[in-house]
Amino acid sequence: MILRPLLSSVVSLSLLAQSPAPQPPAGPANLFVRGFPESEQASQMERERKARDMAQAERIRTYMERMSGEPHHAGSPGSRAVAEYAQALFREWGLDARIETFEALLPYPTSRQLDVTAPTAYRAKLQEPVIPEDKDSADVGQLPPYTAYSPSGDVTGQVVYANYGNQEDYETLKKAGVDVRGKVVLVRYGNGFRGVKPKIAAQNGAIACLIYSDPKDDGYYRGDVYPKGPFRPPQGVQRGSIMDMAIHPGDPLSPGWASEKGSKKLGREQAKTLVRIPTLPISYGDAAPILRAMGGPLTPESWRGAMALTYHMGPGPAAVRLKVDFDWSVKPVHNVIAVIPGTQFKDQWVILGNHHDAWVHGANDPLSGASSLLETGRVLARLVKSGWKPKRTIVLCLWDGEEFGMVGSTEWVEKHKAELEQKAVAYINTDSNSRGTLGVGGSPAFEQFVGNLLRHVKDPGTGKALAETPQRRANANGLRLSPLGSGSDFVSFLDHAGIPSLNLGFGGEGGGLYHSVYDTFTAYQKFGDPDFSYCRALTQLTTTMAMRLADAPVLPHEFGDLTKAVRSYVEEIQKEFPNADLKEVNRQLTRLSTASRAFDDEIRGVRRRSQAISPEKLTKLNQALMKTERALLLPQGLPGREWYKHQLYAPGLYTGYGVKTLPGVREALEAGRTEEAAQQAANVAKALRNCAAQIEEAASLLRGI
């Protein structure tokens, strides 16, 4: 993943007080598998159970070992080799698989140099040393630590320490009388997307940005460092993209259209997502000599890390010279796409995806998820061989270029947008996966669907159904899917194409090897998921999801949860901005609520009467349901970022990964632009009205049955 999730963003999952009992199947009105008639439930359950039993941890381990053997960053021969390996596996299992190649601006560093020039000379190492216990750390072909999309440059200046580099940190500096204009800003990783740090630094007049990993955030303060433990060693560095993905993800030179050989491209100077000042990530080993030589005011306590030194703001007397150069060539990205054709509704696609590119070896990020998805492919292929044919088409995708800015998935969505608008049912995304608790985020219309599913898949830690784990039962209000911001390949599907999306994975136990050369097979086996039971559980989850979504005669959408979710977004805004005029939004919310209830009544009616629905009517009904999320998009998009079309969700312009709900309204209010907020509220109302109309259409189709 591009952005590392904070523990707090990892979900509030919980289960359902007022929903049916977990022992299926109960009475006749029990919708334990939403979308299925009683008559089909038992056989569906049995087939799903068989599929889950087929998933093998040992195989997932093998895929990971193979794919993590050599560095495989996007654009490299290693990445191509991984794509070909995955394609060959899919084909060996009997699936139709192809590689779809796009191209994008993927800068690699050609020279990196950082010198402390005052008060005492020091040359930064900028290298992650070989660790004898981990042979992969010595591999050739590693992309050295850097932040992708930093401009080339050679600058010298005094240093200012700016904590996490968020807007409020600059307010604190200003109050302390510290001016960052013309200075090199040193910030630490954490508390927001890394790309936001140089963006804000540049807006405040800084000439360069250094981002280091403080041991307090993911080093020795948290636990033993690698290889003894999973935390970041002194010279470990977090690589990563600093593309301004809140404007648009994907190739910076082709916003909104697919970047292929010979396609139209912007000049680099026209690109809107490139950072303006030279930026480099460094280790705390390299940051210590700079911080130790800082003077000026003492920092507030919350700014201090865990190094044995006194944290000062500066400016200076420490001064540095930063010199970085990049190869700005356009390079290929290779997506692997495997298709299991549907029978009854072949033009309705259930899409699953995980990226395959890594910063270096990427055992955890992304191969834990990618290997689990490959196993999902093998299990589904075996079912097909044994005679199962899904009603809907299942598309399995392994994306390239995610680390640079969701490049492979974005170009793919842009290329196939018209077809996806017609055919996509849902997109299920996975990424890094390791021991820990399950996190699930996504479209609220699928809350019931996911809640049901968690009763049938076991938590490897407790051996009980995932729905039964303590953190899930704690909250009696039901399963809540956290709204999606950014950070992995679901962004284009949800925000640009209006495809309802889910993002899921186990984890949360932390570690500091993220985007370092030490995210290896050796480290993953020791600290990630030693017996691969959590990877197997992920396979079981995505396999069950794919089968249910593919075979449910009626798609499992439920709109009461959507209404509830939107109402909570509106209330949050109203609480923070009591003067905001959201009357029209509330009016449309009432309509949405009425439509949701009408739809549910009709579904219950059809069920009660055990009515058969003709295939033509089913197709129409499902098509209407597929359009409900699309209806939440507006063609003009959000202010200043028209690529983002969804009116309910977008990554924040100044958080980068964190979601902003009702983003047009919220960001206008936060910036004090009242007129724009009113305009945006009208847009949200319009999107809600469109969505309600779509649900009403689905309800009336049911009524006509």
Please give the residue ranges that form the binding site for Zn ion (CB under 5 A). 1, 365
Which lies closer to Zn ion via its Cβ, residue 365 or residue 561? 365
Which lies closer to Zn ion via its Cβ, residue 148 or residue 258? 148
C-alpha count within 13 angstroms, C-beta hemisphere, residue 620: 14
Which lies closer to Zn ion via its Cβ, residue 362 or residue 500? 362
User: Closest separation between CB of residue 575 and Zn ion, Å?
Assistant: 35
Q: Which two three-digit tokens encode residue 635?
A: 């063609």
Which lies closer to Zn ion via its Cβ, residue 217 or residue 365? 365
Report whether 208 contacts 277 (CB < 8 A): yes
Which lies closer to Zn ion via its Cβ, residue 1 or residue 131? 1
Distance CA 537, CA 73 (A): 27
Which lies closer to Zn ion via its Cβ, residue 32 or residue 506? 506
Residue 634, SS3 per DSSP: coil
Report whether 59 contacts 378 (CB < 8 A): yes
Which lies closer to Zn ion via its Cβ, residue 1 or residue 669? 1
User: Closest separation between CB of residue 361 and Zn ion, Å?
Assistant: 12
User: Closest separation between CB of residue 546 and Zn ion, Å?
Assistant: 24
Distance CA 316, CA 312 (A): 9
Amino acid at 679: Q
- Between the CA of residue 386 and those of 381, 383, 440, 544, what are the distances in Å? 9, 5, 31, 17
Which lies closer to Zn ion via its Cβ, residue 9 or residue 263? 9
The angle, 0 to 180 degrees and rounded to 10, between the axes of the packed helices 77-92 and 57-67 is 150
Report whether 650 contacts 663 (CB < 8 A): yes
Distance CA 288, CA 309 (A): 8
Q: Which two three-digit tokens encode residue 164?
A: 């996490």
Catalytic (active-site) positions: 402
Q: Which two three-digit tokens encode residue 326?
A: 């990049």
Beta bridge partners of 340: 394
User: Closest separation between CB of residue 522 and Zn ion, Å?
Assistant: 19
User: Closest separation between CB of residue 116 and Zn ion, Å?
Assistant: 30
Amino acid at 458: K
Q: Which two three-digit tokens encode residue 190?
A: 């954490």
Which lies closer to Zn ion via its Cβ, residue 250 or residue 316? 250
Q: How far does CA 227 lie from the centroid of its chain? A: 28
Residue 65, SS3 per DSSP: helix
Classify each residue of 24-49 as buried b or exposed e, where b means 16 or more C-beta atoms within 10 Å of its C-beta.
Answer: beeeeebbbbbbbbeeebeebbebbe
Q: Which two three-digit tokens encode residue 427?
A: 């997109």
CB atoms within 10 A of CB 497: 22
- Between the CA of residue 580 and those of 590, 591, 673, 678, 686, what are the distances in Å? 18, 20, 11, 8, 17
User: Closest separation between CB of residue 274 and Zn ion, Å?
Assistant: 20
Which lies closer to Zn ion via its Cβ, residue 501 or residue 516? 516
User: Closest separation between CB of residue 358 and Zn ion, Å?
Assistant: 7
Report whether 412 contacts 397 (CB < 8 A): yes
Nearest to 1 by CA among 444, 321, 342, 402: 402
User: Closest separation between CB of residue 255 and Zn ion, Å?
Assistant: 22
DSSP, residue by residue, 404-442: HHSHHHHHHHHHTHHHHHHHEEEEEE-----SEEEEEEE
Q: Which two three-digit tokens encode residue 634?
A: 């507006």
Beta strand pairing status for 96-105 and 108-118? unpaired
Beta bridge partners of 395: 339, 351
Distance CA 536, CA 542 (A): 10
User: Closest separation between CB of residue 506 and Zn ion, Å?
Assistant: 16
Nearest to 143 by CA among 199, 202, 191, 71: 71
- What is the SS3 assignment for 638-669? ECCECCCCECCEEECCCCCCCEEECHHHHHHH
User: Closest separation between CB of residue 414 and Zn ion, Å?
Assistant: 21
φ/ψ of residue 658, rounded to 5 = -65, 140
Which lies closer to Zn ion via its Cβ, residue 74 or residue 684? 74
User: Closest separation between CB of residue 355 and Zn ion, Å?
Assistant: 8
Nearest to 226 by CA among 292, 136, 158: 136
